[in-house]
Amino acid sequence: MTSAPRKYLDYNASAPLRAEARAAMLRALDLPGNPSSVHAEGRHQRAIVDDARDAVAALVNARPSEVVFTSGATESNTWALSAPWTRVAFADVEHVSVREPAAQIAAARGCEAIPLPVSDAGVVDFASAPSGPGTLVVLQMANNETGVLQDVARAGIWATEHGARLHTDAVQAPGRVKIDFASLGVHTMSLSAHKIGGPKGAGALVIGAGVDLDPLFTGGGQEQRRRAGTENVAAIAGFGAAAQAALADLDAAARVQRLRDSLEADILRATPGAVIVAQEAARLPNTSAIALPGTSAETLVIKFDLKGFAVSAGAACSSGKVGASHVLSAMRLKPEIARSAIRVSLGTDTTDADVAAFVAAWRDIHGGASVAA
């Protein structure tokens, strides 16, 4: 007897590796040479890196010269936060890769780190934000747990008017919403390859023209002398191929949102006491944070896993930690809701059958309630 195929509904944690990315990586792995070498083999490696840079830049409408490859968004966020500032403000729902380095750098410098409150829907309130020269403001484009979208363009206008520098962690947004770095008014932007079907361990920091940012790593002239060290050509090639494919995903965003909305509607019919977190807010089309008071998120994740579904409770980066989500706490959700919330995140490969199977598993786990026709 063969078991049913597993259904992956955890794209916000990491998207499956795309076929295009795998093929690009294998081609790069088969080639010799260092991209800093001037011989033919080295020039071929350099061309692979340059082509990937072009693709990543096109994904967010940036100039290729503004894209610097890193080991991932955590490095990119830390690098952006290493800029000179006297005070840093960040949304209270920011990812831990922003919150922790912000606090550590502020403590080391004897400066202020100011969390900005959010509404009950998870939208940041700038009323208490500091301003003026020496201020760095960090605002995620989309929340990894709830999918809530922030108005980064409005924040860019605010930063310009108030003399502040603005960094955005955009890792969840590419391929799901259109991004225009050139018009957002941000100074730096973090990206991650594995969120769009590229390899883990590759990312980028997009650095706007005229932004002065000292390198984190020195000792070589790679990446326009902004990040020393021989480039991970295979991972960068995979990132570039994934970026090209992610642009096409925008055409499928409406279909993915229809699946997400159908899933939520069926869950609410099956269990009227369930709560869709930030349901009325602007969200990523693929993301649903679902809570059912009286249940445990950790237990639900295990039960769904046993039934063949991959879903999350909170951020994947915090897996193994017991405690309420800082995101849901910042949104002032009741503890019984925050403790029970799981995240379901879909991808372009998700089907109607996958959603129907998840709803059936939800009904089974929660007592076999039937869904209205």
CA nearest 77: which of 62, 88, 63? 88
Q: What is the pTM of this model?
A: 0.94
CA nearest 124: which of 103, 93, 100, 102? 93
Element spanning 319, H or E: none
CATH of the domain at 167: 3.40.640.10
User: What pLDDT score does 239 carry?
Assistant: 98
User: What pLDDT score does 319 carry?
Assistant: 47
Instruction: Give the range of the structural domain holding residue 298, as residue numbers without chain letter.
Output: 7-16+252-365
Question: Does 265 share its domain with 227?
Answer: no
Tokens of 253: 């965003």
Longest dimension (CA), the chain: 67
Torsion sign (Cα): 305, 308, 312, 317: positive
User: What pLDDT score does 131 carry?
Assistant: 87
Question: Does 241 share its domain with 298?
Answer: no
User: What pLDDT score does 1 carry?
Assistant: 45
Question: Does 187 share its domain with 49?
Answer: yes
Task: For residue 327, tell me if it sits in a domain.
Answer: yes
Active-site residue, 317 included: yes
Cα of 177 vs its chain's centroid, Å: 12
Task: For residue 1, tell me if it sits in a domain.
Answer: no
Catalytic residue (one of 317, 335, 352, 369):
317
Question: Does 211 share its domain with 257?
Answer: no
User: What pLDDT score does 74 carry?
Assistant: 98
CATH of the domain at 263: 3.90.1150.10
Question: Does 294 share its domain with 354?
Answer: yes
Among residues 208, 223, 249, the one where a domain terminates is 249
Task: For residue 373, tell me if it sits in a domain.
Answer: no
User: What pLDDT score does 317 carry?
Assistant: 52
- String of DSSP letters for 70-125: ES-HHHHHHHHHTS--SEEEEETT--HHHHHHHHHHHHHHT-EEEEEPB-TTS-B-
The contacts of residue 19 (CB under 8 Å, 6+ apart) are none
Block means of pLDDT (10 residues each) for the chain, length 373 residues? 82 98 98 96 97 98 98 98 94 96 95 94 88 94 98 94 95 98 97 98 96 93 94 98 96 97 98 97 98 95 97 65 79 95 97 98 79 35
Question: What is the SS3 assignment for 161?
Answer: helix
Question: Does 218 share its domain with 101?
Answer: yes
**Total domains, the chain:** 2
Asked if 36 and 222 count as a contact pair (C-beta separation under 8 A), the reply is: yes
